[in-house]
Chains A and B, each alone.
Chain A
Amino acid sequence: MNAHTPPPVSAGTAPVVALRNVHKSFGPLKVLDGVSFEVARGEVTVLIGRSGSGKSTALRCIDRFETIDSGEIEVCGLRVDNPQLDLRALRLDVGIVFQSYNLFPHLTIEENITLAPHSVKKVPKREAKTLAARVLEQVGLGDKLHAYPEQLSGGQQQRAAIARSLAMQPKVMLFDEVTSALDPELTGEVLKVIEALAADGMTMVMVTHEMGFARGIADQVVFMHRGKVHEAGPADILSSPATPELAQFVGTGL
């Protein structure tokens, strides 16, 4: 577990990710209505909330897959809301993993992983392959280098997708319901990988419906409701919610 070495904490206490009063609408639909939260280095922030509450949109705004209407987003010192943002620089710092793995089906797992380091960071092919072997080992897929995505189970594909992101050595990882498409047995193996990453000091923002997991891993829980941060705090808020909405949400176990 050493693909990711957290940078020295000497850089002060500036948050790795900060959203400040972020607003975002799709047409007439207000999806983010003044969202603010911060993610400190090495911490895990878990976004929870009902379907449609804006969790995915918030994540996508952080990685500039959506542009915001107003407010500020800062990631590793980069102003994401700046129209002149250097997208490449942002995406070197941020890794994102989606629910539907999105491995490239025509490439082997090794090629999936080496593609970005080689073509974006210009890491020589050979080094990139060594790197691929290392990150695959890290997610427990050391023997799948030469397999194609369709030859892997859903859980294995998702772990490979995580490895692909890790190979770019991001400073923060975003996970959007990465286990939602998986059977319960396969969910566990993916969550274990994420747990290990957290233990290794990776800064993460994740959307998940796995409440037990969230409780165990979260340094901060952000409960979103109707496009707003309705309640936020340490993992304890899941056991003793302050708002009836969160109480109801946790109660339903959704």
Chain B
Amino acid sequence: MGLELDFSVVLDRWQSLLDGAALTLELAFIAVICGALIGALGAIGRRGGNVLIARLCGAYVEGIRNTPLLVQIFLVYFGLSSLGLKFSAFTVAAVALTINVGAYTTEIMRAGFDSIHKGQIEAAEGLGLSKAQVYWHVVLWPAIERVYPALTSQFVLLMLASSVTSQISAEELTAVANYIQSETYRSFETYIVVALIYVVLSFIMRLGFWLLGLALFPRRRRLGTPL
């Protein structure tokens, strides 16, 4: 009982695989951008003085962190359609992933904000900076720099987790794989190829975040030490 692998029929469909990979990256890109924004606002809300907003942000984070992503996707999918709203599978996937990563980013950003000492804020206030200026220059950027590795991991994880959106037929990489293996009956080969493509996508993302980090954090670039 020898193992016979034939990749040719899978690799023949490289065009579809490439399309799927592109869509996966696109989904991840949208979710990361929107999720990062939600995360920053969520963290501000969660730490802010308004109890109602803080509770709402807390409930959002706990709700997302304690339910499976697939269930969240179905909730968005069926929730929107029961409201009579018709969206493409891609849109639903993007929304669900954004909501998911936004919650995790809220938690990470909160840790980042918490790591800024009160003395830093007082020093900035003492120099006459307004509340908004203090937040921007002395809280937000150092906080992001500090949690940047955690954010990177979370965002790569999100890209990998986006494979479950194949369940609502978003045409991303895993959905393409499902389709190819059902057509070629070369399941093992298909998923080996797809796994390798995910590895490459992860690498691309990490490289991208590393380069972005170099651009955003000149101190890190010059000294190489954590903040």
Residues of A within 8 A of B (CB): 63, 65, 88, 91-92, 94-96, 98, 100, 102-108, 115-116, 119-121, 148, 150-151, 161, 164-165, 168
Check if B133 sits within 8 Å of A119, measured CB to CB. yes
Which of B125, B126, B137 sits near A104, CB closer than 8 Å?
B137
A184–B141 Cα gap in the complex (Å)? Answer: 35
Q: A115-B124, A164-B127 are in contact. List 11 more A-B contacts (CB 8 A).
A: A98-B122, A102-B123, A106-B227, A115-B137, A116-B124, A116-B127, A120-B129, A120-B130, A150-B223, A161-B123, A165-B126
Total of A-B residue pairs, C-beta within 8 Å: 70
Q: Which residue on B lies nearest to A63, using beta carbons?
A: B126
With A106-B145, A119-B137 known as contacts, the answer to whether A148 contacts B127 (CB < 8 A) is no
Q: List 15 A-B contacts (CB under 8 A).
A: A91-B125, A91-B127, A95-B126, A102-B119, A104-B120, A105-B142, A105-B227, A115-B129, A116-B124, A119-B129, A119-B133, A119-B137, A120-B127, A121-B128, A148-B223
Residues of B within 8 A of A (CB): 117, 119-120, 122-130, 133, 137-138, 141-142, 145, 217, 219, 222-223, 225, 227
A116–B134 Cα gap in the complex (Å)? Answer: 10
A148–B220 Cα gap in the complex (Å)? Answer: 10
Enumerate chain A residues within 8 angstroms of B227, measured Cβ to Cβ.
105-106
Contact residues of B: prevailing secondary structure: helix
Top 10 nearest A-B pairs by Cβ distance?
A102-B123, A116-B127, A91-B128, A120-B128, A96-B126, A102-B119, A106-B142, A106-B219, A100-B119, A88-B128
Check if A92 sits within 8 Å of B137, measured CB to CB. no
Min CB distance B151 to A, Å, is 16
Min CB distance A152 to B, Å, is 12
A120–B119 Cα gap in the complex (Å)? Answer: 19
Check if A150 sits within 8 Å of B225, measured CB to CB. yes
Which of A65, A105, A108 is most buried by chain B, counting CB atoms within 10 A of its CB?
Answer: A105
Enumerate chain B residues within 8 angstroms of A120, measured Cβ to Cβ.
127-130, 133
Which of B120, B127, B145, B222 sits near A115, CB closer than 8 Å?
B127
Enumerate chain A residues within 8 angstroms of B137, measured Cβ to Cβ.
104, 115, 119
Enumerate chain B residues within 8 angstroms of A102, measured Cβ to Cβ.
117, 119-120, 122-123
Which of A96, A106, A116, A164 sits near B217, CB closer than 8 Å?
A106
With A102-B122, A106-B217, A115-B137 known as contacts, the answer to whether A168 contacts B127 (CB < 8 A) is yes
A119–B128 Cα gap in the complex (Å)? Answer: 9
Enumerate chain B residues within 8 angstroms of A104, measured Cβ to Cβ.
120, 123-124, 137-138, 142
Enumerate chain A residues within 8 angstroms of B133, measured Cβ to Cβ.
119-120
Min CB distance B134 to A, Å, is 10
Check if A165 sits within 8 Å of B122, measured CB to CB. no
Min CB distance A35 to B, Å, is 21
A121–B130 Cα gap in the complex (Å)? Answer: 12
A165–B117 Cα gap in the complex (Å)? Answer: 19
A9–B94 Cα gap in the complex (Å)? Answer: 67
A148–B226 Cα gap in the complex (Å)? Answer: 13
Q: Which residue on B lies nearest to A115, using beta carbons?
A: B137
Enumerate chain B residues within 8 angstroms of A88, measured Cβ to Cβ.
128, 130
A94–B133 Cα gap in the complex (Å)? Answer: 18
Q: Which residue on A lies nearest to B144, using beta carbons?
A: A106
A119–B137 Cα gap in the complex (Å)? Answer: 10
Q: Which residue on B lies nearest to A98, using beta carbons?
A: B119
Enumerate chain B residues within 8 angstroms of A95, measured Cβ to Cβ.
126
Check if A106 sits within 8 Å of B141, measured CB to CB. yes
